[in-house]
Amino acid sequence: MLMAVAFMMSCEKEKKSTVHNNIIVPPREEKVVDTLVHKMNTTENVEVVKWLGNSYKVAVRRHTSDSLSVVTDNNGKRYRNNIIKMKITRADGSVFFEKNFTKNLFDSYVDEAYLSKNVILGLVFNDADASGLHFLGSVGSPDELSEEYIPFIVTISRMGDVSVEKARIEVPGDSVAGIEATV
C-alpha cells in the first residue's frame, strides 16, 4: 500500500510539473512589409460610335507607367499610376483626337491629399450629342477590392477641346443627400 501511495504521489508531482512546463506561448507576429509596387491590369476598349451623322472609332487604353510617381493607398500598398490613352479616328482613318490622360486631369476637382493616394481608373464612352462626345471617368483607389472612386464626365468637343465636370449619380431609392452625380 505504501508503494501505491508513493506511485500516486509521483504521478501527481509529474502532472504538476508537466502542466507547469507546458506554457503555451503564441508565436510572435512579424509584420511583413509589402515592398512590391503593384500594377492595375491593362485594359483596352474600342468601339464605333455615331456622332454628327458620321462614324468614329473610339479607342481607350489604360496602362501603368513607370515614368509617373508611385502612390501609396490608405492600406500602405504601393501602386504605379495609370495613363489612359484615347484616340478617336474618323471613318477615313484620319485622327480627330489623340491624348494621354493622367489623374492630373481632375486636379481642379479633387484635393491633393486624395490625388496623392489614388489613380485615374478609367474613361469609358457614355454618349454623344451636338456638344461633343461624353465619357465617364473616375479617380479612385487602385485596389481592385475597393469601391472608392469619384466619378466625372469628360467631354471632347467638336473642336477637340476637353472639359471636365463632376458627375451626379442618382441611386433610385437612396435618400443620401450630397451625392454628386447624374449619369
pLDDT tens sequence across 21-31:
667 767 777 77
- Domain residue limits, the chain: 36-166
Assigned superfamily of 36-166: Protein of unknown function DUF4738 (2.40.128.510)
The answer to whether the Cα torsion of 6, 8, 13, 17 is positive or negative is positive
Q: Taking the model in full, what pTM does it have?
A: 0.74
| pLDDT tens digits for range 113-149 | 999 999 999 999 999 999 999 999 999 999 988 889 9
| CA–CA gap between residue 72 and residue 69 (Å, rounded) | 10
| CA–CA gap between residue 163 and residue 153 (Å, rounded) | 8
H helices of 22-150, in order, are 112-117
